[in-house]
């Protein structure tokens, strides 16, 4: 990041950081749709390939539109380095394969994205990288799981769908006492509401597909952190293995960053109003939202986050039958498992995102049969209340 950018506040960086205007004088960032780059001479080509001269060679390595997105997101997360990836999953894969080797060990929260669990247990395990899963909010569980060969601690906070939190500062201290790195998947808060690096985390991971885009258009991801970790090891893996972000997607995401903080404030306000209303409904047993006074980690959420986000869940008294009835009665909210969109979405976790767990595992994870998750969008909240009220018994 240049000194120029250091002087500005978050909202200014979100709109301006990373843009390099070309000789055409364009106001909006251009899309560089090019796979390769031309050199002025054989000597320049040689210098680029040897690394003696910095500059573009091929868009699997670097691309100006992708770089603008990377620099803008790095400025927002307070990171020295950022690499953009083809998806959130390839951001996690690139982090693991860039940093770990056979025999290394990961300690991960149990409450993480389903595909991440699958990546750890089915694929990394094939190459001798083992993962132990622990309770997100239980620090003694994390401490007990660390072994001499542990290299990485991995988590999402707040968790999905139950909005449990981890104390990032406390886990960073634990990681560093044991010479491990702490990686935080910051998908749900985004840097507009939570900046894990300022709390001590080493690596921040994003699925740009969610709130960074914010309008459900493109798949992408990013890894952020120190230059020697992200700029060398993770970028080294990415440029060789190839899960690079497309320039067009980078352009969509960098325009998304310009409205990120406005959107996250609006998502949070809608979600809080909806959560407070849900708490008053007789067919609702419990509401999970970090912004509610009744949330067991409300104080931690206030300390660690500058807003409570767009994700909430609630448990109905009536089990699966009541859950499906409520979902099927909606006319406005989209029935889809995606999140981080201007359009609100609704899911029944027990029969979709968590359907591979046994009933016993689901009970352990707190995924009740009557649990409903809503990713609250930017519609008028009165219309969202009416839509949910339709199917309540
Ligand atoms: C969606 C998601 C991912 C995966 O991102 P893709 O862009 O779908 O690959 C990873 N982590 C979290 C928390 C997610 O919600």
**Mean pLDDT (the chain, rounded):** 96
The C-alpha atoms of residue 150 and residue 203 are separated, in whole angstroms, by 16
β-pairing, 345-347 with 371-375? antiparallel
Cβ of 173: how many Cβ atoms within 10 Å? 13
341 lines ligand 1 (CB under 6 A): no
Distance (Å) from CA 267 to ligand 1 centroid? 18
Residue with CA nearest ligand 1 atom 11: 113
The C-alpha atoms of residue 177 and residue 169 are separated, in whole angstroms, by 12
Distance (Å) from CA 38 to ligand 1 centroid? 35
323 lines ligand 1 (CB under 6 A): no
Domain range summary for the chain, segments of one domain joined by + = 3-258, 261-389
- Chain segment 181-233, per-residue pLDDT in tens: 999 999 999 999 999 999 999 999 999 999 999 999 999 999 999 999 999 99
The C-alpha atoms of residue 359 and residue 303 are separated, in whole angstroms, by 35
The C-alpha atoms of residue 57 and residue 80 are separated, in whole angstroms, by 23
- State both tokens at 114: 């389903």
Taking each helix axis from N to C end, the angle separating 381-389 and 260-279, rounded to the nearest 10 degrees, works out to 40
**Residue whose tokens read 């998304």:** 256
Residue with CA nearest ligand 1 atom 6: 88
Instruction: Please give the pLDDT value at position 356.
Output: 86
210 lines ligand 1 (CB under 6 A): yes
- Chain segment 278-328, per-residue pLDDT in tens: 999 999 999 999 999 999 999 999 999 999 999 999 999 999 999 999 999
- Chain segment 333-383, per-residue pLDDT in tens: 999 989 999 999 999 999 999 998 889 889 888 999 999 999 999 999 999
Cβ of 234: how many Cβ atoms within 10 Å? 25
Instruction: Please give the pLDDT value at position 1.
Output: 44
The proportion of the chain whose per-residue pLDDT surpasses 70, expressed as a percent, equals 98
156 lines ligand 1 (CB under 6 A): yes
The C-alpha atoms of residue 203 and residue 177 are separated, in whole angstroms, by 16
Q: Which residues contact 382 (CB under 8 A, 6 or more apart)?
A: none
Fold topology of 261-389: 3.90.1150
Contact present, 65 and 250 (Cβ < 8 Å): yes
What are the C-alpha distances in Å from 381 to residues 272, 273, 314, 373? 10, 7, 16, 16
In 3-state terms the chain splits into helix, strand, coil percentages (rounded to 5) of 45, 15, 40
Distance (Å) from CA 191 to ligand 1 centroid? 16
Sign of CA dihedral 105, 245, 187, 362: negative
- State both tokens at 378: 């930017």
Distance (Å) from CA 94 to ligand 1 centroid? 14
Q: Which CATH class is domain 3-258?
A: alpha beta
């Amino acid at each position: 990041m240049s000194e120029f950018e250091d002087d500005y506040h978050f909202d200014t960086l979100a709109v301006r950081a990373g843009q390099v205007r070309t000789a055409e004088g364009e106001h909006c960032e251009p899309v560089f749709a090019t796979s390769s780059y031309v050199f002025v001479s054989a000597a320049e080509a040689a210098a680029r390939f040897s690394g003696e001269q910095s500059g573009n060679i091929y868009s699997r390595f670097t691309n100006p539109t992708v770089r603008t997105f990377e620099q803008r997101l790095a400025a927002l997360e307070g990171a020295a380095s950022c690499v953009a990836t083809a998806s959130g999953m390839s951001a996690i894969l690139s982090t693991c394969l860039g940093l770990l080797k056979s025999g290394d060990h990961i300690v991960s929260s149990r409450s993480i994205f389903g595909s991440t669990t699958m990546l750890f247990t089915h694929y990394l395990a094939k190459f001798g990288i083992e993962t132990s899963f622990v309770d997100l909010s239980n620090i003694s569980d994390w401490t007990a799981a660390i072994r001499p060969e542990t290299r990485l601690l991995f988590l999402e906070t707040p968790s999905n769908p139950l909005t449990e939190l981890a104390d990032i500062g406390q886990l960073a201290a634990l990681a560093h006492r044991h010479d491990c790195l702490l990686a935080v998947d910051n998908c749900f808060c985004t840097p507009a509401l939570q900046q894990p690096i300022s709390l001590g985390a080493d690596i921040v991971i994003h699925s740009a597909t969610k709130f960074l885009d914010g309008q459900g258009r493109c798949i992408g991801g990013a890894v952020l952190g120190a230059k020697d970790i992200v700029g060398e090891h993770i970028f080294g893996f990415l440029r060789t293995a190839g899960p690079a972000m497309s320039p067009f997607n980078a352009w969509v995401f960098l325009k998304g960053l310009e409205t990120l903080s406005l959107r996250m404030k609006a998502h949070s306000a809608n979600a809080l109003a909806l959560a407070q209303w849900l708490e008053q409904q007789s067919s609702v047993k419990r509401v999970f939202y970090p912004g509610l006074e009744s949330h067991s980690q409300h104080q931690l959420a206030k300390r660690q986050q500058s807003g409570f986000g767009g994700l909430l869940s609630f448990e109905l008294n009536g089990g699966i039958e009541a859950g499906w009835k409520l979902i099927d009665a909606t006319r406005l909210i989209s029935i889809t498992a995606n999140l981080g969109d201007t359009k609100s979405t609704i899911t029944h976790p027990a029969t979709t995102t968590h359907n591979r767990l046994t009933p016993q595992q689901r009970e352990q994870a707190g995924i009740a049969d009557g649990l409903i998750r809503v990713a609250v969008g930017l519609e008028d909240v009165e219309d969202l209340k009416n839509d949910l009220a339709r199917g309540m018994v």
